[in-house]
Structure formats: structure tokens, C-alpha cells
């Protein structure tokens, strides 16, 4: 299941963003940010406590089950009054949620979180990015391991010269994607794929921002 | 100095006006279009290159001093391109300075900072200003440097950059468009002969050769038995290989590199030898070791030459050459 992986902004930054807003309504989400412990029930309550201490007036709080779902509009309607009393919404969801809510209401939305990557849970509390949506999938060439995502430099003709005992130049705890790809292809008897020259990537398969409409 | 004097006579290269369409991009004959470094690579003599690191700023005094110090003692001088992702005066500027001072520059180009448009444009510019040698590198990550928040580009990698050069030589750019005036370069790449694991690195080495690398400057080697084994594997590929020599300045530096620099392994015996140096004489010991290694490589005909990286100790390079018996040129 893909998840939006977030980290809470520092309180100094949040308070700075909220400087011109005295009355706040706090919104969390029951899905990815609950998993990441950045915007679930507990975190929303803690934030309300903290903002109260900082002299803000919290008009109310809510945790939307899936904030980025279009029908979150309905959930927000149930809290219409306390939202109307607020100067701004402090949104403790990933950027998908912040933008969904921001589109649905007039009131300013302030993000309390930074969205780090779209990834998946590998173990309890362990999240990894596996796909960066390049639009030109070469997983068949690399034994099912994405070098565009897992190689820090996104190399398709790897490894680079910084590879170090199967670890990455940037972090001794991070595996070198191309060492993993090499081992996988070797085990499959398909090292010829690694020997193949991969041409420069098409970075504009889907000029950003991505949009797609299915024509009926 | 006879050979160098001869070379000095034809140091001025003909300016490219309309470049002639080059040949098919594969192994080229020596001497075409005045590619002096390519001629040297094919001359059969033991090639020596070294490197210049540009300054962080516009004060070019030190760089010019190092160029003057080394230009007549080595066959070519690399100019590094934001080495270790530290922002510096550009390698192309340094390469032009080397040329202006009568040296033979090797332009180092990484793929970290520029997309394919900028890289191709820089190649056109370099060619137009008489630069004929390029070392193609992927580049270190920005996070190891001094602008850790910058965007790393990596639109191309080292193999793709080599191919890009060979494409430009055929009169076309990477978009498939015709060029009004092509280029020609002696292009090279790097390899880490002691990478662990080694096989992925060797696969990459072969791809670089296939992509058009005609010379290789290796990461620093210290264990010559291991290097000899690497050369047994690499020699049949026909590409000219210059062994990387990094001057050891202290035993602590050796240990630091063992711990921190991928693919560099200073054997314990050399660390112990560095420790025997009297106080204040560690660099001399390092020079002795470097000179001895170069001599061994040359006399054993183990590879085609060396690439000396003195990293801030450029003053020591002439001494290293003296220790190696290469003072007064690399003739032979």
C-alpha cells in the first residue's frame, strides 16, 4: 500500500507560519499520517495543547479518515461552525490532504507537516521510497529494483565510483542500489541487462505536473 | 628535455573554424586533427598526467603558479570540476588557463551540475577554444560538498556523456539535430580497480570503453599486486590505463582514506612505512613511496602511465617525478 511519508515541521517554523493567525482549527488524517505518527488523533491533541500554551485559540479539531479523498468535503461540513470561527486551518496531513482541503474551503490552510516521499512501510516504523514516478519504467532491466529511485543519483548505468562495500556514497547505512541490482541479475543469470548501455532518460514523459484523463 | 622541446614547438594548435566531420567514432588513429594527448597515449612511452584544483574564488594566482610548476613536467594536466562537490572556479576556466600557459589540459566534466544541454554546450565551447581532452565523470553527490541543499542534476551519467561526445563528433547533438561545426575529443573516464565488490565496477568499465573512453585514469592504487591483476583483466580492452597515484602525507591520512574513501586501500605495510618517517618528514616518505610505485609500474610495464593526484601538495609533484626517475620528461 503506498503511503505519503511525512515529518512534522519544527514548532518554531509552525509558530512562524501561524504568526498572523490567532484562532485555529486543527485537521489531522486517519491514514498515512496516523501510520507515521505525525497527524493522527494523538498528534492532533498534542498540537492543540501546545498551541494553547503558545497563546493560540483552538476553535476545534478533527481527524478526517482520508483527508485527500474528494469526499473529505463532507467530513469538513460537520465542523462548519468551529472552522468558520477560525482564522486558519493548521493541517496535519500530507500535502495531498492540505491541497484537497485548501481547494474545498476559502479559509487559509497552513501545513504542519513536510511530505518527504511517497513510499511504503517495510517494517514497523520503517518507510522507504520505492518509486519516483519517472514514467519510463525499466524494472525489467534491473531485476525488479528501481535504480531511478534507489540510486541516490538516479543512475541507469551504475554503479558510480562512490559505491563502497555495497553501500552508498551518501550514507554508510544505505545499500548501493546497483550492487543490489548486480546481485539480483547475477542470481537470475541476466547480467547481460546490466551490460547494456542505457540511453539518457526521458524526463518529460509526463511534463510536470502530471495529469491524466481517461477518455470514455 | 629533447622530447619536450620538440613538443613545445607545436604547442599552438590550429584554431577550429569549421570542424571537419570526424570518423566513425570508434578507436581513432593517432595524430588526427592535432589531438596531441591522443598521440602521446599511442606513442608507447610511459604517460604522466597530474591535476590542478581551481580556487574557490577568482584569485587565480596559486592555480597559475601550479600550472607553471607542472606544465612542462607532465604530459597533460587535469583540471577538476567542483571536486567533492565543493563549489569552485570552473574546470573549463582552469583548462583555458592551462592552455594559455602552454600546457595540455584535460577538462574534467561531471554530470552533477549540468543537464545535457549545458554539457553539450560546454563541449562546443571547449572545442572552439582549443581544448581537446575530456575526462567524463558522473560526479559526487551534492550532499558530500559545501552546498548540501543544491539540486544534483545527473541528467546524464559518465557513459552517456562519453556517448554524447562521440555523437557530437558525428555532427549531431543528442536531440538528433545537425550541428553547424562539430567537435573532436580525446575522451576518457575513471575506474576504481579495488572497488568492493569488483565485478559491478568492471561491468561499468567495459561500458565506458564501449561508450568511447580511450583512456582511463584510475582511483588511487597502493597494492600493486592487486593492480597487476586488474591490468591482466583490463589490458585486452586496448584502452590506455594511467594508474592513479595519491601522495600520502601522513600515516593518519592513509588510515583516513582506508576508512572513508571508496575503493582506496593502503596496505598496512605502507602505513607502517609512513610511521617510520622522522617527525616532520612524513611528506618526504610519501614522495619516496609514490616515486617507488611509479618506478615499479614503469619498469614492469604494468600499465600505460600514471595520474598523480597531489591534492593540495602540487609542489611535491616534481619531487615525486624525480624519485620515480622521470625528472626531465617522460621520454622513453
The tens digit of pLDDT for each residue in A2-37 reads: 999 999 999 999 999 999 999 999 999 999 999 999
Report the side by side order of strands in the sheet with A113-123. A3-8, A113-123, A126-129
Does residue B331 register a pLDDT over 70? no
Q: Which residues contact B178 (CB under 8 A, 6 or more apart)?
A: B171, B172
CA distance A122 to chain B (A): 25
The 3-state DSSP class for residue B245 equals strand
Tell me the ipTM for this assembly.
Answer: 0.94
**Mean pLDDT of all residues in A168-189:** 96
CB A116 within 8 A of CB A123: no
Q: Which residues in chain A are contacts of B157 at CB distance < 8 A?
A: 153, 155-158, 160
Give the mean model confidence (pLDDT) for residues B110-115. 98
CB distance A92 to A28 below 8 Å: yes
Q: Which long-range contacts (CB under 8 A, 24 or more apart) does B100-103 make?
A: B101/B64, B101/B67, B101/B68, B101/B71, B102/B8, B102/B11, B102/B71, B102/B72, B103/B67, B103/B70, B103/B71, B103/B72, B103/B76, B103/B77
Q: Give the confidence band of B21 by pLDDT, cuts at 50, 70, 90.
A: very low
With a cut of 60, say whether residue B15 has pLDDT above it: no
Grid coordinates given for A131: 518509486
Measured between beta carbons, which residues in chain B are less than 8 angstroms from residue A156?
Answer: 157
Average pLDDT over residues B194-204: 95
Mean pLDDT estimate for chain B: 90
The reply to whether the predicted model has a pTM over 0.95 is no
Q: How many CB atoms lie within 10 A of CB B275?
A: 13
Question: What backbone torsions phi and psi does residue A97 show, to the nearest 5 degrees?
Answer: -70, -45
> What are the residue ranges spanned by the domains of chain B?
29-323
Distance CA A113, CA A35 (A): 14
Shortest Cα–Cα distance, A170 to chain B (Å): 7
For CA atoms B129, B134, B137, B143, give the dihedral sign: negative
Residue B332 pLDDT > 60: no
The answer to whether the beta carbons of residues B183 and B154 sit under 8 Å apart is no
Cell reading at A93: 496531513
Nearest CA of chain B to the CA of A83: how many Å?
37
Yes or no, beta carbons of B137 and A161 under 8 Å apart: yes
| pLDDT digits 0-9 by tens, B143-191 | 999 999 999 999 999 999 999 999 999 999 999 999 999 999 999 999 9
All cell numbers assigned to A179: 550492487
Range scoring the smallest mean pLDDT among B22-36, B122-136, B140-154, B170-184: B22-36
Checking if the pLDDT of B16 tops 70, the result is no
pLDDT of residue B225: 95
Specify the pLDDT at position B269. Answer: 96
The model's confidence at residue B310, banded by pLDDT at 50, 70 and 90, is confident
Instruction: Count CB atoms within 10 A of the CB of residue A137.
Output: 13
For an interface test with A, the pick among B139, B163, B192, B200 (most A C-beta atoms closer than 10 Å) comes out as: B200
For residues B98-114, give the mean pLDDT: 98
Interacting residues of B316 by C-beta distance below 8 A, sequence separation 6+: B247, B283, B286, B287, B310
Domain B29-323 class?
alpha beta
pLDDT tens digit sequence for B55-71 = 999 999 999 999 999 99
Mean pLDDT of B198-210: 97
Q: Which stretch of DSSP H or E encloses residue A22? A: none
In sequence order, the 6+-apart residues with CB closer than 8 A to the CB of B43 are B30
Provide the number of CB pairs (under 8 Å) joining chain A to chain B: 87
The percentage of chain B sitting over the pLDDT mark of 90, rounded to a whole number, equals 86
Q: By three-state DSSP, how is residue B215 classified?
A: strand
Say yes or no to pLDDT of A39 above 50. yes
pLDDT of residue B328: 60
- Cβ contacts (< 8 Å) between A160 and chain B: which residues? 138, 157
pLDDT tier at B329, thresholds 50, 70, 90: low
- The pLDDT value given to residue B211: 98
| Confidence band for B22, pLDDT divided at 50, 70 and 90 | very low
Average pLDDT over residues A141-167: 96
Residue of B nearest to A178 (CA): B200
What domains can you pick out in chain A, each with its CATH number?
A: 3-117 (3.40.50.1860), 132-216 (no CATH)
Question: What is the per-residue pLDDT across B228-278, written as a single tens digit (0 to 9) for each?
Answer: 999 999 999 999 999 999 999 999 999 999 999 989 999 999 999 999 999
Amino acid at each position: 500500500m503506498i503511503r505519503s511519508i511525512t515529518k512534522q515541521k519544527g514548532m518554531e517554523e509552525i509558530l512562524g507560519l501561524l504568526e498572523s493567525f490567532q484562532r485555529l482549527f486543527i485537521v489531522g488524517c486517519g491514514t498515512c499520517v496516523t501510520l507515521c505518527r505525525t497527524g493522527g488523533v494523538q498528534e492532533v491533541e498534542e498540537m492543540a495543547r501546545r498551541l494553547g500554551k503558545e497563546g493560540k485559540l483552538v476553535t476545534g479539531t478533527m481527524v478526517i479518515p482520508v483527508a485527500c479523498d474528494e469526499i473529505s468535503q463532507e467530513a469538513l461540513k460537520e465542523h462548519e461552525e468551529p472552522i468558520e470561527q477560525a482564522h486558519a486551518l493548521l493541517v496535519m496531513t500530507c500535502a495531498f490532504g492540505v491541497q484537497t482541503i485548501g481547494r474545498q474551503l476559502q479559509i487559509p490552510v497552513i501545513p504542519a507537516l513536510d511530505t518527504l516521499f511517497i513510499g511504503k512501510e517495510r517494517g514497523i516504523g520503517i518507510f522507504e521510497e520505492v518509486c519516483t514516478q519517472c514514467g519510463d519504467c525499466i524494472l525489467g532491466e534491473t531485476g525488479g529494483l528501481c535504480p531511478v529511485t534507489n540510486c541516490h543519483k538516479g543512475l541507469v548505468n551504475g554503479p558510480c565510483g562512490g559505491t563502497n562495500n555495497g553501500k552508498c556514497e551518501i550514507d554508510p547505512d544505505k545499500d548501493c542500489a546497483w550492487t543490489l541490482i548486480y546481485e539480483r541479475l547475477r542470481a537470475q543469470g541476466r547480467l547481460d541487462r546490466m551490460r547494456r548501455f542505457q540511453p539518457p532518460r526521458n524526463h518529460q514523459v509526463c511534463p510536470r505536473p502530471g495529469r491524466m484523463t481517461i477518455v470514455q | 628535455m629533447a622530447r619536450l622541446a620538440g613538443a613545445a614547438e607545436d604547442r599552438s594548435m590550429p584554431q577550429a573554424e569549421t570542424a571537419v566531420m570526424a570518423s566513425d567514432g570508434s578507436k581513432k588513429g593517432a595524430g588526427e586533427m592535432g589531438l596531441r594527448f591522443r598521440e602521446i597515449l599511442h606513442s608507447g612511452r610511459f604517460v604522466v598526467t597530474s591535476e590542478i584544483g581551481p580556487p574557490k574564488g577568482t584569485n587565480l594566482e596559486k592555480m597559475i603558479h601550479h600550472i607553471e610548476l607542472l606544465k612542462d613536467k607532465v604530459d597533460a594536466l587535469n583540471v577538476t570540476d567542483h571536486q567533492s562537490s565543493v563549489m569552485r572556479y570552473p574546470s573549463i576556466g582552469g583548462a583555458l588557463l592551462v592552455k594559455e600557459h602552454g600546457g595540455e589540459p584535460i577538462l574534467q566534466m561531471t554530470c552533477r551540475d549540468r543537464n545535457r544541454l549545458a554539457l553539450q554546450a560546454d563541449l562546443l565551447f571547449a572545442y572552439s577554444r582549443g581544448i581537446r581532452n575530456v575526462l567524463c565523470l558522473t560526479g559526487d553527490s551534492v550532499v558530500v560538498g559545501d552546498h548540501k541543499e543544491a539540486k544534483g542534476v545527473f541528467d546524464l551519467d559518465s557513459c552517456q556523456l562519453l556517448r554524447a561526445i562521440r555523437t557530437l563528433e558525428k555532427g549531431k547533438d543528442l536531440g538528433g539535430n545537425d550541428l553547424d561545426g562539430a567537435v573532436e575529443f580525446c575522451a576518457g573516464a575513471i575506474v576504481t580497480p579495488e572497488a568492493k565488490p569488483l565485478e559491478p565496477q568492471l561491468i561499468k568499465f567495459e561500458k565506458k570503453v564501449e561508450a568511447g573512453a580511450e583512456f582511463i585514469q584510475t582511483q588511487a592504487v597502493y597494492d600493486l599486486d592487486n593492480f597487476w591483476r586488474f591490468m591482466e583483466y583490463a589490458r585486452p580492452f586496448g584502452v590506455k590505463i594511467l594508474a592513479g597515484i595519491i601522495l600520502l602525507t601522513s600515516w593518519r591520512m592513509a588510515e583516513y582514506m582506508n576508512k572513508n574513501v571508496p575503493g582506496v586501500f593502503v596496505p598496512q605495510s605502507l602505513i607502517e612505512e609512513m610511521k617510520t618517517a622522522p617527525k616532520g618528514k612524513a611528506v618526504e616518505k610519501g614522495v619516496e613511496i609514490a616515486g617507488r610505485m611509479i618506478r615499479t609500474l614503469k619498469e614492469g610495464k604494468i600499465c600505460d602511465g600514471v595520474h598523480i593526484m597531489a591534492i593540495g601538495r602540487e609542489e611535491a609533484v616534481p619531487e615525486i617525478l624525480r624519485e620515480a626517475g622521470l625528472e626531465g620528461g617522460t621520454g622513453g
